[in-house]
């Protein structure tokens, strides 16, 4: 067999192996969530850009509102290491235990300072439903929002933190995941 035929035959195996190693590295990079009573953790990770269908007032956030996304969301990349790049979103999915009634909740995001004046904590009120999965995401819409370091997304119910997930935002070049990966074929981990 000629050398070029061997190279051609091995190329798909090498690419596939690289993708598997990337997925394993991302999964190994997962910070564990802190999960309390009365909540079910579904997943944490990175989300490719999603189209907002509306806005809700959220005076305790840096911009004063949150984007509403009315579609089923799942994480595109299972990692808590976030490339600091416009268009990348990260967050958590969770639900109440089976049969639980809807509850008022507060989503709290803590992060290194950004904005004018600089803020480090943002929060908004929401309703957590018992009959469906809920999600809370933060998407870097503007360069000034990319604050490197530790971020935490938490869910509070009845004044108690019932779910908390840490993320680490790093310079984009330090992550093997890039926003441009969202433009190609769907990738799952």
pTM for this predicted structure: 0.80
43-102 pLDDT per residue, tens: 999 998 888 888 999 999 999 999 888 878 889 999 999 999 999 999 999 999 989 999
The range of the structural domain enclosing residue 171 comes to 31-183
169-186 pLDDT per residue, tens: 999 999 989 888 887 655
Q: How far apart are CA 80 and CA 18, in angstroms?
A: 20
Among candidate residues 161, 145, 142, 143, the one with its CA nearest the CA of residue 153? 161
Give the chain's domain count: 1
Instruction: Let me know if residue 9 belongs to a domain.
Output: no
Instruction: Let me know if residue 188 belongs to a domain.
Output: no
Instruction: Let me know if residue 110 belongs to a domain.
Output: yes
What's the Cα-to-Cα distance from 104 to each of 5, 35, 52, 67, 159, rounded to whole Å? 62, 18, 22, 19, 10
Maximum separation of any 2 CA atoms in the chain, in Å:
69
């Amino acid at each position: 067999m000629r050398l070029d035929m061997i190279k051609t035959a091995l190329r798909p195996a090498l690419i596939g192996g690289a993708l598997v190693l990337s997925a394993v590295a991302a999964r190994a990079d997962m910070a564990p969530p802190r999960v309390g009573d009365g909540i079910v953790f579904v997943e944490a990770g990175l989300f490719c850009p999603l189209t907002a269908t509306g806005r809700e007032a959220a005076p305790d956030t840096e911009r004063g509102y949150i984007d509403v996304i009315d579609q089923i969301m799942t994480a595109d990349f299972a990692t808590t290491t976030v490339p600091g790049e416009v268009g990348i979103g990260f967050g958590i999915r969770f639900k109440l235990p089976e049969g639980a009634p809807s509850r008022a909740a507060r989503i709290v995001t803590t992060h290194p300072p950004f904005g004018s004046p600089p803020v480090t904590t943002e929060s908004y009120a929401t309703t957590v439903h018992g009959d469906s999965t809920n999600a809370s995401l933060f998407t870097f819409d503007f360069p000034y929002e990319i604050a490197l370091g530790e971020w935490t997304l938490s869910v509070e119910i009845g004044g108690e933190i019932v779910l908390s997930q840490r993320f680490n935002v790093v310079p984009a070049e330090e992550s093997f995941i890039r926003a441009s990966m969202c433009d190609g074929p769907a990738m799952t981990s």
